[in-house]
Structure 1
Amino acid sequence: MQDFYFILGCTACGKAAVGRALARALGGQILSVDSMKIYRRMDIGTATPSREIQAEIQHYGLDIVEPGEAFSVADYVRCADQARAEIRRAGAIPLAVGGTSLYIKALAEGLFEGPAGDPQLREALAERIQQEGLVSLHAELAKVDPASAQRIHPNDEKRILRAIEVFRQTGTPISELQTQWTTGLGQAQGQVLIGLRRERDDLHGRINGRVKKMVQMGLVEEVEALLAETKPLARQAAQAVGYAELIAWFGGGEKSLDKAIERIKINTRRLAKKQRTWHRRWGAVRWFDIAPDEPPEQTAQRIIAEVDFK
């Protein structure tokens, strides 16, 4: 059985609806590949499937963590591995549906791992921590890899050790190696990647309509409730399009609610453009163009006619 059949595309292109149509037609289950749908109580702004839809079609990768918790790509891959095992046990077709490029890349090509660990080096660094304290290693990291030192908390011993270990072994900062992995043009060999795309004007119209609907459904109130929670939002959650703009409005950074909503539309279009650029890098994607009036069930049938779902 294929690990996953990826249904990808930029935000608002209709991939979730097509994914559900495929699941119904094929007897599939869905893994969400969306870095914002992992958060609980962030349903409206992320277009998380309703409870009714989730009751009809088994979904994974939704509502995993609290909005105040950090969540890495590695965390996501661990959850995806569990979902893969459960879908296999159910004998269902595994559909990975979403547009978060790093999640897709990690599932299709594997995580960045770097060189194998060096036990002797680790032991020497551990002794140094005992003698000089972790602050000494973090100071060294700031000299050889400022980007990692800025990102890694001074008390995060495990990540500090790994970053220094990689630099000592390769002579290259781990932040640079991770960037090379992030921007690499991997072909995701052996994976089935199905891409959905729309004409620019059609997509922009869908984005505007979607933002309007989210506001009508209570997006502003959803953000207000999140801000009232005891634990502040994690940086990843607070920077999500649709949330960041309203957080700025609540904080006085945007004077008008209408302007904040318009900013959501603009930033969603920018996100869609960024996602399209990412997805085009994978030469293995089989693209399907969707007409403005084509229902998701029809798109799903076109895909089924051309893709061998085993």
Structure 2
Amino acid sequence: MTAQRLPVVLLMGPTASGKTAAAIELVEHFPVEVVSVDSAQVYRGMDIGTAKPGPEELARAPHRLIDILDPAERYSAARFREDALAEIAAIHRAGRVPLLAGGTMLYFRALSRGLADLPDADPVVRAEIEEEARHHGWAVLHQRLAGLDPQTAARLHPNDAQRIQRALEVYRLTGQSLSALTAAARTEPFPFRLVTWAVAPAERRVLHERIGRRFAAMLRDGFIDEVAALRRRGDLHTGLPSMRAVGYRQVWEYLEGRFDREDLEQRGVAATRQFAKRQLTWLRRERDAQWFDAADGRLLRQLRDAMGRVLDSR
């Protein structure tokens, strides 16, 4: 079979939509291997707040590209694309089907469509932007970005510090907007046959309820202690991508005494809902995606049937 006919299945969905359970189900029924598409699960020691599969789940369905970095390190969409293509090739060589499951939509986009030719991170420029944010707040920097790159600003939440910083950094380094550079990028052809699935509850209310229950469960399971241990290391701070992951920044601020525990839960749930909203916005741009209702009791059967069709078409 030519490379162009070898299938790669993308299992996308917002947080708390049941992607891990679905992936395990497919691994247990088909010759499938999972590659994680999650910008937070790459970090070691960040288990509870990222909803990382536990030891029993990983024994049933090993996940590639989790626990590959220390939280002090930085990861990028470009590096993910390189790593994921290597894992896909290895899975194909073993005669199996790669199942890329997760919720980091930028990584999915980078994998399937390639990346713009953007400048590397510049520590000096980043430090300048972070200093401005400390004085004025990220909402003000978001307004500045809207004046420079309204297209990028429109798709970013005013509290999305990491992406606001990157967009401003790109502009200061190149004199061009991130949206313009991205639009001018040469699309790199994906060398395999893509099958794209989107898993999400049909009703937003269901997703919000799931997010609330899961964040409460994370707190019960020791999320605060997990972040406290990371803070005690002394080499981590909220400017790092790892500590900007949804939930971690809120717990970090709670540990600094900025608000009480009840407020922590409210803030954590609200931040996660905003994150899920952004994920769904990305998902709706996937024109070729087949949608599955995460709240449908027949979901796992439907996914098994869909995977069966993928295998039959090889």
Q: Tell me the TM-score normalised to structure 1 length.
A: 0.75
2-structure distance, mates of 1:213, 1:46: 12
Q: Please say which of residues 226-235 and 187-196 is displaced more in the overlay.
A: 187-196
Deviation digits for residues 250-304 of structure 1, max 9, x if unmatched? 1222x21111111111111111111111110111111112335x26533423433
Structure 1 partner of 2:254: 249
Structure 1 partner of 2:275: 271
Q: Can you give the 5+ residue segments of structure 1 that lack an aligned partner in the other structure?
A: 115-134, 136-144, 153-159
Mapping of residues 138-177 of structure 1, within 5 Å: 151=169, 173=176, 175-177=178-180
1-structure distance, mates of 2:287, 2:216: 35
2:258 counterpart of 1:240: no
Q: In the TM superposition, what is the alpha-carbon distance from 1:64 to its structure 2 partner? A: 1.2
Structure 1 partner of 2:140: none
2-structure distance, mates of 1:242, 1:185: 34
2-structure distance, mates of 1:181, 1:12: 35
CA distance 1:97–1:56, shift in 2 (3 Å): same
2-structure distance, mates of 1:11, 1:45: 11
2:20 counterpart of 1:16: yes
Structure 1 partner of 2:52: 48
Query: 8 Å contact 1:2–1:94 — kept in the other structure?
Result: no
Determine which of 95, 104, 121 is the counterpart of 1:100: 104
CA distance 1:213–1:307, shift in 2 (3 Å): same
Determine which of 65, 68, 72 is the counterpart of 2:76: 72
Q: Please say which of residues 74-83 and 91-100 is displaced more in the overlay.
A: 74-83
Q: Can you give the 5+ residue segments of structure 2 that lack an aligned partner in the other structure?
A: 119-123, 125-147, 150-164
Measured on the aligned residues, the alpha-carbon RMSD in Å equals 3.2
SS of the counterpart of 2:224? helix
2:207 counterpart of 1:208: no
2-structure distance, mates of 1:229, 1:297: 41
Q: Tell me the TM-score normalised to structure 2 length.
A: 0.74
Look up the equivalent residue of 2:41 and give its one-letter code: K
Mapping of residues 292-303 of structure 1, within 5 Å: 294=297, 297-303=300-306
Look up the equivalent residue of 1:242 and give its one-letter code: G
SS of the counterpart of 1:4? strand
CA distance 1:227–1:179, shift in 2 (3 Å): farther
Look up the equivalent residue of 1:13 and give its one-letter code: S
Aligned residue pairs total: 263
Q: In the TM superposition, what is the alpha-carbon distance from 1:54 to its structure 2 partner? A: 1.8
SS of the counterpart of 1:191? strand
1-structure distance, mates of 2:69, 2:53: 16
CA distance 1:286–1:214, shift in 2 (3 Å): same
CA distance 1:285–1:209, shift in 2 (3 Å): same
2-structure distance, mates of 1:207, 1:185: 35
Determine which of 56, 62, 68 is the counterpart of 1:58: 62
Deviation digits for residues 25-47 of structure 1, max 9, x if unmatched? 11210011111111110010001
CA distance 1:232–1:194, shift in 2 (3 Å): same
CA distance 1:6–1:43, shift in 2 (3 Å): same
2-structure distance, mates of 1:263, 1:65: 27
Q: In the TM superposition, what is the alpha-carbon distance from 1:89 to its structure 2 partner? A: 2.4
CA distance 1:305–1:84, shift in 2 (3 Å): closer
Query: 8 Å contact 2:8–2:193 — kept in the other structure?
Result: no
2:4 counterpart of 1:4: no
SS of the counterpart of 2:241? helix
Structure 2 partner of 1:217: 221
2-structure distance, mates of 1:74, 1:227: 28
